[in-house]
Amino acid sequence: MTSNSSPDFLTIFDMDGVIFATDATKGEGLANCFPEQYRQAVAAYNRDMGGVPRSDKFDYIFREICPELEHNRTEIIETYNEFVSNLYQKADLIPGVVTLLKSGLTINWLATSAPTKEAEKALAIHGIHQYFDRIYGYPTRKEEVLEASKLFGLKTIFFGDSQADRQSAKATKTNFAGVDYEVHGRFTEKTYIVKSFDGIDIRETYTQTCTQL
């Protein structure tokens, strides 16, 4: 926590596309790990699967798109993991997010479908890990994190950038704000949208997201 006060708000952040402007680049990198004839299909699948754990994506890709490459699964996954590790070294942060994290107005959690150790390392690289009270990654599912947040009795907002994030919030009756900074048009139902965190008013955001419950 960043303050000795007791914040009224608990903010839960997805990572890619919410903390880091990495979502689109990760999608491109995933497709490029496969031979050229599969890249379009992999990219099309991944475009609609933001917020889904990596292991689930690979299971689908090797089962439905390129089962003939199953014998290369380990090599392809290792190549992608190395790509992601290098990506975070130079990733840009979503505008305004550090200011919100440091504001002292919120208790901050991370809920990402990326592996927990990968998330911890990415936050540490950019010197922001200390602003998070809890860091949840795979194998913990986002719905589990959102359910756990209810035990604290705080005004909770989940910031995500995908329809899967929106559905997790809806399933757990958690206030949700869609971050539309990097990849646009993902939400298929009424969603309160923030373009970035620049100048965000957390109280107003909470009030606006209450109308979606």
Each residue's pLDDT tens digit, 60-82: 999 999 999 999 999 999 999 99
pLDDT of 2 strictly over 50: no
- Per-residue pLDDT band at 1 (split at 50, 70, 90): very low
The angle, 0 to 180 degrees and rounded to 10, between the axes of the packed helices 116-125 and 73-89 is 20
Q: Could you tell me where the DSSP H helices lie in the chain?
A: 23-32, 36-47, 54-60, 73-89, 97-102, 116-125, 142-149, 163-171, 202-210
Q: Is the pTM of this model over 0.85?
A: yes
- The answer, yes or no, to whether residue 190 has pLDDT greater than 90, is no
Q: Which two tokens stand for residue 28?
A: 């491109």
- Ramachandran angles phi, psi of 107, nearest 5°: -90, 135
Q: Which of 106, 87, 76 has the alpha carbon at shortest distance from 5?
A: 106
